[in-house]
Structure 1
Amino acid sequence: MTPLRLKITASLYATMAVSFWGVSFVSMKAVLEKLDPFSLLVLRFGIGSLFLLSLLLVKRVRLRISFTYIPQLIVLGILGVFVHQLLQATALLTINASSAGWLISFSPIFTVILSMLFLHEKMSFRKAIGMVLAITGVLLVTATRNGSSIDFAMNIGFFLIILSTLNWAIYSVLLKKLAIPYPALLVTFYMSLLGFLLTTPFIIRNKGWELLPTLNYVEWSHLVFLGVFVSGVGYWYWGKSLEVLEASKVSTFIYLEPIATFIAAILILHEQIFLISITGGIIIIIGVIIVNGQLVPLLFNFMRKKS
């Protein structure tokens, strides 16, 4: 049985990962005003790969891996990095950042189904209650944005984001199922490097480098954030959390992503704050805690301290 301390640590890793990813929608939207999706991804993966390589060298982690696991890394890199990020970046050309953040919350639904089918994970009553609460919170958060209901128009962006949630669920289940016996940091580096190599031909074809001089320091800051914290630290921490927790449990942390997007939209885009959104955010957090089975221990420890 996994110790509670390890579960809490893994939960913190997952929380930080989805927090970075939630803010990423705002950052990508800002950069896409100047760059095409492929150029954005090349720079993002390039920065992320250099950052991860630096960490590996500092930690003195061997870069050598067995040829046996190369096909698995290629599959994970294509699904979780190249395809996933391309779908999201392209979707943001037609829908706003907040809408993308809300829609990505449906990913855990796919992950739980796939985990039941391929990882033989069970759907307990507690998990079901937690998921219902989390979904309810998402609906509350998205119910009244800018004082009115969100308009999810049936355009290509909507379809691409939903497709990316299914793709991410497949990636998370595969990452757990394959259980590549190397540090999560090393696996993340090779996936990021693969994303960089796969997108480089497109920036050459589109001559994306010609637009680089037009970027100001704010847009470059967004790119550094996307490379270091979103592509680098985020994927690394997500892999570390999957080393400890079940894929279906880790996937529920995606429900926290709209909260990060919401906060980023307030701080960066100066959007209004609604009480119903705050209430929904609290319900999302409670739902995630219930699914991960940590609500009862937390309440027990609280009551013991009070007594």
Structure 2
Amino acid sequence: MSDKRWLWYAVLTTFFWGIWGAFIEIPEKNGFPATLGYAVWAFTMIPPCIFALYQVEWKVQYDTKSIIYGSLAGILGAGGQLILFETLRSGPAYLIFPFISLSPVVTIILATLFLKEKTSFKGWMGIVLALIAIPLLSYQEPGNGITSGYLWIFLSLLVFLAWGIQAYILRFANETMQAESIFFYMTITGLLLMPFALLMTDFNQPINWGISGFYSAIIIQLLNAIGALSLVYAFRYGKAIVVSPITNSLAPVITIILSLMLYAVIPHIIIMAGMVLAVIASFLLGIEEETENIADA
């Protein structure tokens, strides 16, 4: 029988991240800074981590290789998020997000070269369509702000590389590690980097510690944390060249659909084109992997 576990976990990731994306701006708009949102996210990683460790009877791999791989995955993911905060302060979001959203390109290149992952022509069609869809889904109309300097380009490149390499590490580490141990080290590194987020926070401004700020951030960031755990499992059972583009292209589609339903926001035609391409790409990738699994059975 074919192994569909990678697909189910990828779907869970896109589901949770899609909902997270639709609500993530609410706490910040209500006066709870995004940097403090990172701190909340770091703590919300703990419940999924406890759940994961319970599945393996609290056995964490603590050999040198496991510690390095797991910590590296965590530092790249959490560190990229911290760099993104500074990037958005120095550059235009409508250019930054489409750029960093192409991080699966890095993952695909590394997985093809070093993990020797392969797929058929149909699978590559799906990958290409997903890579085209991702920046389209990240499209934002230019604002009135004028940005000078090139720091944001360098910082965007760092985030782009960090998240692309992280996805590769997640797949590579799963070759020798339990997914639960990987997530444990991701949780620890996320918490260790929390002081940097606090240093980046302007505590002189009013901060909403109420239901619409702090408490809503807890619920919303928990969705992100659960999605992160599902992603680790998706990389455990699936190919990086498939999991990375499919999760990065489908999650924004769910976000956009929810935003349309909740806020009556009509997507730009460029974003709508990205949605169509993402759905087609996901169909091609899902069908391709299913066919391959049946052939190998």
Output the CA distance in 2 between the equivalents of 1:276 and 1:214. 35
Contact 1:265 1:271 in 2 (8 A): yes
The partner residue of 2:252 within 248, 252, 258 is 258
Q: CA RMSD in A?
A: 3.9
Aligned twin of 1:35: 33
Output the CA distance in 2 between the equivalents of 1:174 and 1:184. 12
Change (3 A) 1:149 1:44: closer
Output the CA distance in 1 between the equivalents of 2:257 and 2:97. 11
Contact 1:21 1:234 in 2 (8 A): no
Contact 1:13 1:237 in 2 (8 A): yes
Contact 1:111 1:169 in 2 (8 A): yes
Normalised to the residue count of structure 1, the TM-score between the two structures is: 0.74
Contact 1:14 1:237 in 2 (8 A): yes
Contact 2:97 2:135 in 1 (8 A): no
Amino acid at match of 1:86: L
Q: Is residue 129 of structure 1 aligned with residue 106 of structure 2?
A: no
Output the CA distance in 2 between the equivalents of 1:162 and 1:150. 24
Output the CA distance in 1 between the equivalents of 2:91 and 2:27. 12
**Larger mean Cα displacement after TM superposition, 182-191 or 153-162:** 153-162
Q: How much does 1:275 deviate? A: 5.3
Amino acid at match of 1:91: T
Q: Is residue 61 of structure 1 aligned with residue 83 of structure 2?
A: no
The partner residue of 2:228 within 222, 235, 253 is 235
Aligned twin of 1:303: none
The partner residue of 1:193 within 166, 188, 193 is 188
The partner residue of 1:175 within 146, 161, 170 is 170
Aligned twin of 1:245: 238
The partner residue of 1:280 within 274, 283, 289 is 274
Change (3 A) 1:219 1:140: same
Output the CA distance in 2 between the equivalents of 1:108 and 1:282. 19
Provide Cα deviations, 1:100-150, integer angstroms capped at 9, x if missing partner.
65444312212111111221123643233223323444465567x66x899
Amino acid at match of 1:195: G
Ranges in structure 2 where 5+ consecutive residues have no aligned partner: 292-297
Normalised to the residue count of structure 2, the TM-score between the two structures is: 0.76
Output the CA distance in 2 between the equivalents of 1:123 and 1:263. 30
What percent identity do the matched residue pairs reach?
A: 20
Aligned twin of 1:302: none
**Larger mean Cα displacement after TM superposition, 193-202 or 162-171:** 193-202
Counterpart secondary structure, 1:243:
helix
Q: How does 1:1-307 map to 2 (within 5 A)?
A: 3-16=2-15, 18-20=17-19, 22-23=21-22, 26=25, 30=29, 34-35=32-33, 37=35, 39-49=36-46, 51-56=47-52, 59=55, 61-68=57-64, 69-81=66-78, 83-93=79-89, 102-122=98-118, 124-138=120-134, 141=137, 156-157=151-152, 159-179=154-174, 183-200=178-195, 203=198, 214-230=208-224, 232-253=225-246, 254-263=248-257, 265-266=259-260, 270-274=264-268, 277-294=271-288
Aligned twin of 2:294: none
Output the CA distance in 2 between the equivalents of 1:95 and 1:261. 23
Contact 2:137 2:274 in 1 (8 A): yes
Change (3 A) 1:136 1:54: closer
Aligned residues: 288
Change (3 A) 1:279 1:27: same
Contact 1:102 1:258 in 2 (8 A): no
